[in-house]
Structure 1
Amino acid sequence: MSTDAVAGLEADRSLLGRTSTADRLADVLRSRITEGYFAPGTRLSEEAIGGALGVSRNTLREAFRLLTHERLLVHELNRGVFVRALTAEDVADLYRVRRLVECSIVRAITSPLGEALAPARAAVEAGEDAAKRGAWRELGTADIHFHQALGTLAGSPRVDELMRGVLAELRLVFHVMVDPQPFHEPYLTRNRQILTALENGHGLRAETLLGSYLKDAERQLLAAYRDSSL
């Protein structure tokens, strides 16, 4: 684990409070994975994380168990807990789920959306700002937040939960891109186009744009997996 990752967890300590639970701790660790702080294959130190967040070993192990169930972590006997490394098959399955869920959500939009799009709008603007600063990890996080915001348009807590897990796994996939800039940057314009379509109530247009977006992203990521295995 890097010192930046541990320092980030120390900043999250206040979020847990004295009545912290394994669920809240899992939320913190999932957010850190989504934000790109933990790369696939990283061993998660019970001592470092427990010390940074001020939680007991039992609480931490329960949080690890929850995230293992979500396929974000893996426990290796006599070695410890590691951030999961996804396969090309995982990538294909994640994008299959995304097409089923995200495209159906935007397709249902038939009238202009106002405040409901505020989180999506904020994510697009955050991504554009990150690109100007060359902060590519932040850009990847903003992209994930944009798609999480699309998920919230379904108005379903269950869909929200599903998307949180899917997009956290997706962040582990992003690490396969050696140079994140040429991968993430072109999708900024595409996010803006999808947002504009939804602002105008053109759900079918948004679905077409999003379907093409997801197809291209999957193709690029699978190509990167093939290259990394050579």
Structure 2
Amino acid sequence: MNIGLSLADQITLELRADIIGGGLLPGMALVENDLVSAYSASRNTIREALHRLGQEGLARYVRNKGVMVRRLDSDDVRDLFKVRRTLELQAIMNSQPLATYRSDRMLDALDAAELAREREDWRVVGTHSLAFHQHIVGLLGSPLLDDFFTNVVAQLRLAFFCAPDEPRFQAPWLARDRQIHDWLAEGNKHGAHEAMSVYLDDSEQMLLHLLSSTSKN
């Protein structure tokens, strides 16, 4: 756990990480008693953590059911992609030549995603793909934006769960992620920017289509 943070902050970060990792699904109940036991924390601390998770858009109170992991709708997805376009495209166009350590971090995420694909662990594929995009935003060099984008990534993970066919949803993006990295490594910011712009358009449309199909069933 991070030194200097309150216990409620630490629990909030762990719950957010569980969402990003695919351990907490949309609609799943966040049971106060279970969390008190799991974290050896007081009820007030757990309630504070759940309140903060709600402020981050990751949980919501449902009458007669309690606090639940949030389900996202089409408007949420459109808003998330507005943020992604603002941050990821700006990060690419404003980036300096890709430093070795930044390239290595991106490649580590891409390699881990491909290993997970070989194991057909598609949830882990999605987690590492999201990590790659966190490294893209990291090119802006802003810890504040990094933290903000981590919350965006957690919400994206919740949106991904609308896909009934994870292999079909996750498979197309790995080669495109690697091409974006390679263009950045070559110093071709315009190529990377164009590829990312099309990538985000395609990803948004796929998610919106999946959400629309799910709501009709």
2:170 to 176, 180, 184: 184
Q: Distance in 2 between matches of 1:149 and 1:26?
A: 22
Partner of 1:43, secondary structure, is coil
Q: Which amino acid aligns with 2:25?
A: A
Q: Distance in 1 between matches of 2:164 and 2:31?
A: 26
2:40 to 51, 54, 62: 54
Aligned counterpart, 1:4 = none
Q: Distance in 1 between matches of 2:2 and 2:179?
A: 38
Q: Distance in 2 between matches of 1:155 and 1:202?
A: 19
CA gap 1:110/1:205 in 2 versus in 1, 3 angstroms: farther
Any conservation in 2 of the 1:112–1:202 contact (CA below 8 Å)?
no
Matched, 1:72 2:58: yes
Deviations 1:74-115 (A, max 9, x none): 012443101111110111110111011101101122524311
Q: Which amino acid aligns with 2:121?
A: A
Matched, 1:32 2:22: no
Of 85-94 and 51-60, the range deviating more from structure 2? 51-60
Displacement of 1:178: 0.2
Displacement of 1:136: 0.5
CA gap 1:60/1:216 in 2 versus in 1, 3 angstroms: same
Q: Distance in 2 between matches of 1:134 and 1:224?
A: 21
Aligned counterpart, 1:146 = 132
Q: Distance in 2 between matches of 1:16 and 1:109?
A: 29
Normalization by structure 2: what TM-score? 0.94
Superposed, which structure 2 residues align to 1:84-99 within 5 Å?
Answer: 84-99=70-85
Any conservation in 1 of the 2:113–2:124 contact (CA below 8 Å)?
yes
Matched, 1:219 2:205: yes
Aligned counterpart, 2:158 = 172
Displacement of 1:21: 1.2
Aligned counterpart, 1:12 = none
Aligned counterpart, 2:105 = 119
Any conservation in 1 of the 2:122–2:166 contact (CA below 8 Å)?
yes
Q: Distance in 2 between matches of 1:112 and 1:144?
A: 19
Displacement of 1:162: 1.5
Q: Which amino acid aligns with 2:209?
A: A
Normalization by structure 1: what TM-score? 0.89
2:68 to 71, 76, 82: 82
Any conservation in 2 of the 1:42–1:83 contact (CA below 8 Å)?
yes
Give structure 1 regions of 4+ aligned residues with deviation exceeding 3 angstroms. Answer: none
Q: Distance in 2 between matches of 1:79 and 1:184?
A: 32
Displacement of 1:16: 7.4
Q: Which amino acid aligns with 2:203?
A: A
Deviations 1:53-86 (A, max 9, x none): 2222111111111110011000124431011111
Aligned counterpart, 1:10 = none
1:210 to 170, 173, 196: 196
Any conservation in 2 of the 1:25–1:63 contact (CA below 8 Å)?
yes
Q: What percent identity do the matched residue pairs reach?
A: 36
Aligned counterpart, 1:197 = 183
Q: Distance in 2 between matches of 1:71 and 1:134?
A: 30
Aligned counterpart, 1:11 = none
Q: Distance in 1 between matches of 2:176 and 2:87?
A: 18
Any conservation in 2 of the 1:111–1:202 contact (CA below 8 Å)?
no
Aligned counterpart, 2:90 = 104
Give the length in aligned residue pairs. Answer: 215
Q: Distance in 2 between matches of 1:84 and 1:150?
A: 26
